[in-house]
Amino acid sequence: MSDDDESRADRIRSRRSSRKDRTEQTTQSETSESSEPSNLSKQSKPSEPSKRSKPTVKEEQVGTYMYLYESQKKEIDRLYNVLKAEYEFEFDHEFEKNRHFYPLLVRHGLDGLESLDALEIKERLEDTIAEHVDD
């Protein structure tokens, strides 16, 4: 090993040692502070609604994720854009996708499925799958 390599190795060891010392000091100070009430937790709690006039969608509703065929996603997006334009033009009020459209879509989709018997469910499911086999 050359002198340059040894001095480089010494510098790396020194940096690691000083980093380790700082980490230990930070951990010790955090441990001693954790027994005292934290000002941060008193300042803001993300789960509590702030003093806005209306809560965010995330505060009001539960996030739900689903997988759809691409053509279904396109159809949902198209319908949202049409309904949004009509609603906002007529009432001059915002029509939000997550706050307004998705709950409507699910409610009326549920209404359409609620009265089906098992055979009708099977037939509709087969039709849906057949529509998307070519996608």
Q: What is the DSSP letter of 24?
A: H
pLDDT, position 12 = 74
pTM, to two decimals: 0.57
Alpha carbon distance 132, 135 (integer Å): 5
Phi, psi of 116 (to 5 degrees): -75, 145
Along the 135 residues of the chain, how does pLDDT read in single tens digits? 566 666 777 777 777 777 666 656 655 554 454 444 444 444 444 555 556 688 999 999 998 999 999 999 999 999 999 999 999 999 999 999 999 999 999 999 999 999 999 999 999 999 999 998 865
pLDDT, position 8 = 73
pLDDT, position 54 = 85
pLDDT, position 56 = 92
Shortest CA distance to 78 belongs to which of 99, 57, 111, 101? 101
Alpha carbon distance 84, 96 (integer Å): 8
pLDDT, position 25 = 62
